Structure 1
Amino acid sequence: MNTIPAALSVLALMAVAVCAVTACSPITVLNALSPAGDTRSSKDVAYAAGPRNKLDIYLPEHVDGTAPVVVFFYGGNWVDGNRADYAFVGRALASRGIIAVVPDYRLYPEVSYPTLLDDPSAAVAWTARDIARYGGDPARLFVMGHSAGAYNAAMVALDPRRLAKFGMKPSMLSGLIGLAGPYDFIPIENKTTRPVFHFPNTPLDSQPVSHVSASAPRTLLIAPVNDDLVNPKRNTGGLARKLRENGVAVTERYFDGVSHTTLVGSIAVPLRRLGPTLDEVEAFVKGK
């Protein structure tokens, strides 16, 4: 038995516990314990005009134009988040031979629905257009997100109006990957989320489940068995069911050892023992 991953897991969990009662960030700990290894990065790449419209690209050591590409959107309830905090996701994907693109996007109150989806869509369009210059294959392009970021990814992949603004169609995507995403959340219970979606007049077309069709890309959905922030049965299970009803291939996974937050954390080296999230993503992207 390899004791190094176990020791890292204990160290990371202890650090996260300490951060819960101090000013430090658990994400900072995960990034510090997730070295770049045989990967490299290109930072602060502009995909549109504006201070929030930049992205970071994480690359495997060797790329030849055939590498699959994942655009990852972080969560934060549409009011918070920074791409630099998710270096551990980019490094993890790059370590598996996958180019990772991690964009920032404008947040509430600067934008609300539906404008909040313009930046994620623009980032995907930029990737489709320009990632070949970095050794990626635009014909193997996936969108992925955690929590609010999974919502963003789902809307880009399911609502054709989003990519149409940039001359693209959802059918140009090779897949959708959602981690603990909110896909069906009317009426909105979270008070922070309400103004983002104009509660109590939340448009029905703001929900990813409203846009499922046979043209949706193949999908991987992962959620904690017990998620106290986003109901996995209604959201992950409901979206999976609708996709299958429309003939879309869906892989659905539920993990016991993770929470809403540590699901994405389990991608990082120190917490991989909590759940096989990275393995599932790699298998899905590479069609295993």
Structure 2
Amino acid sequence: MGLAGLSPPAAVAGPLLDRLMEARTAADQGGGAGAMPALPAGVRLLRELPYGEDARQRMDVYLPPGLGSGRAPLLVMVHGGGWRVGDKAMSAVVANKLAHWLPRGYILVSVNYRLLPATAPLEQARDLAAALARAQALAPSWGGDPAAVVLMGHSAGAHLVALLAADPAFARDAGAQPWLGTIALDSAALDLPGIMEAPHPSLYDRAFGQDPAAWRAVSPYHRVAGTTRPLLLVCSSRRALACAQADRFASRVGSLGGRAEVLRQPLSHGEINRRLGEPGAYTAAVEAFIATLRRGG
């Protein structure tokens, strides 16, 4: 969530703050669905592929030129938006990632999922597990390798992919295969009880309710069992809570024998998403992590 790391002054607490935060969340995600970015030359787009019956259970697949070997890796991207808004086709979600990873032979899969208020985060995670399973099943027909998948999400999407990484039962129950690793882009919702037991905006109450058992059910920190594939936790150094939660979660994963790395970046919450894929040290660091996965990490 865009402002989860802030402690609001009393004067702006309550509904006004919630409206401001929701507006900021939409801005961080690039606004509404909006126009799709221009495709790089030779890229083929498969739009609105279903992985379930609901209209939100759809994914877009971007295929680079020259596929056919059946060995192309997949980058599966999950948008953010406070568990309530967002869209797979937003420029901030896909544009720079297309520009960087498709020329390197990746297939990019951008996923929508059902949203609040109709669908709670636990079911959203199950949506993503189903999308992952469907993408892996279809990958050979695209020229892709269903085992060479990197799962990535931003903001609320980062929380959801971290949840899938923490507890492989989500993916296993949906019929998904193991994937190479997971990249969570600036989630401040890795330890849900830690958030909910401290002062927090009421939009978290609308997402996660008042039941501590329900908080734990959607808390990556509490679901991790040591069997997770490698994780990269990118956090904005401008958001103290996001990096504190990343450090805490990485320590928990490490204590259970897993691998989790924290990458701090001096970027805003929205820039963490939007600028990934631009030339520079940030993209290079993420690329280096992915390279370790493909070497057997």
The TM tier, using the shorter chain, reads 0.7 to 0.9
What is the CA–CA distance in structure 2 between the aligned matches of 1:253 and 1:134, rounded to whole Å? 32
Q: Structure 2: which 5+ runs fail to align?
A: 1-22
Q: Structure 1: which 5+ runs fail to align?
A: 1-19
What is the CA distance between 1:67 and its match in structure 2?
Answer: 1.4
What is the CA–CA distance in structure 1 between the aligned matches of 2:29 and 2:174, rounded to whole Å? 36
Q: Does 2:178 align with 1:177?
A: no
Go from structure 1 to structure 2 and tell me whether the alpha carbon gap of 1:90 and 1:254 turns closer, same or farther (over 3 Å shift).
Answer: closer
What is the CA distance between 1:75 and its match in structure 2?
Answer: 0.6
Go from structure 1 to structure 2 and tell me whether the alpha carbon gap of 1:160 and 1:87 turns closer, same or farther (over 3 Å shift).
Answer: closer
What is the CA distance between 1:251 and its match in structure 2?
Answer: 2.9
1:93-172 pair list within 5 angstroms: 93-168=101-176, 172=178
Q: Does 2:287 align with 1:282?
A: yes
Of 34, 46, 49 in structure 1, the residue corresponding to residue 53 of structure 2 is 49
For the Cα contact (< 8 Å) 2:192–2:216, is it kept in 1?
Answer: no
For the Cα contact (< 8 Å) 1:213–1:246, is it kept in 2?
Answer: yes
What is the CA distance between 1:135 and its match in structure 2?
Answer: 1.1
What is the CA–CA distance in structure 2 between the aligned matches of 1:200 and 1:146, rounded to whole Å? 25
**Number of residue pairs the alignment of both structures matches:** 259
1:27 match: 30
Of 200, 204, 207 in structure 2, the residue corresponding to residue 196 of structure 1 is 207
1:214-248 Cα distance to aligned partner (Å, 9 max, x none): 311011111111126xx133211111111111222
1:258-269 pair list within 5 angstroms: 258-267=267-276, 269=278
For the Cα contact (< 8 Å) 2:236–2:243, is it kept in 1?
Answer: no
Go from structure 1 to structure 2 and tell me whether the alpha carbon gap of 1:255 and 1:38 turns closer, same or farther (over 3 Å shift).
Answer: farther
Q: Does 2:75 align with 1:62?
A: no
Q: Structure 2 length normalisation: TM-score?
A: 0.78
Q: Does 2:75 align with 1:75?
A: no
1:90-126 Cα distance to aligned partner (Å, 9 max, x none): 5133233221111110000111142222211110111
Q: CA RMSD in A?
A: 2.9
What is the CA–CA distance in structure 2 between the aligned matches of 1:146 and 1:216, rounded to whole Å? 19
What is the CA distance between 1:140 and its match in structure 2?
Answer: 0.8
1:87 match: 94
Q: Does 2:243 align with 1:233?
A: yes
What is the CA distance between 1:208 and its match in structure 2?
Answer: 0.2
What is the CA distance between 1:193 and its match in structure 2?
Answer: 2.5
What is the CA distance between 1:35 and its match in structure 2?
Answer: 5.1
Go from structure 1 to structure 2 and tell me whether the alpha carbon gap of 1:45 and 1:147 turns closer, same or farther (over 3 Å shift).
Answer: same
1:222 match: 234
What is the CA–CA distance in structure 1 between the aligned matches of 2:94 and 2:243, rounded to whole Å? 30
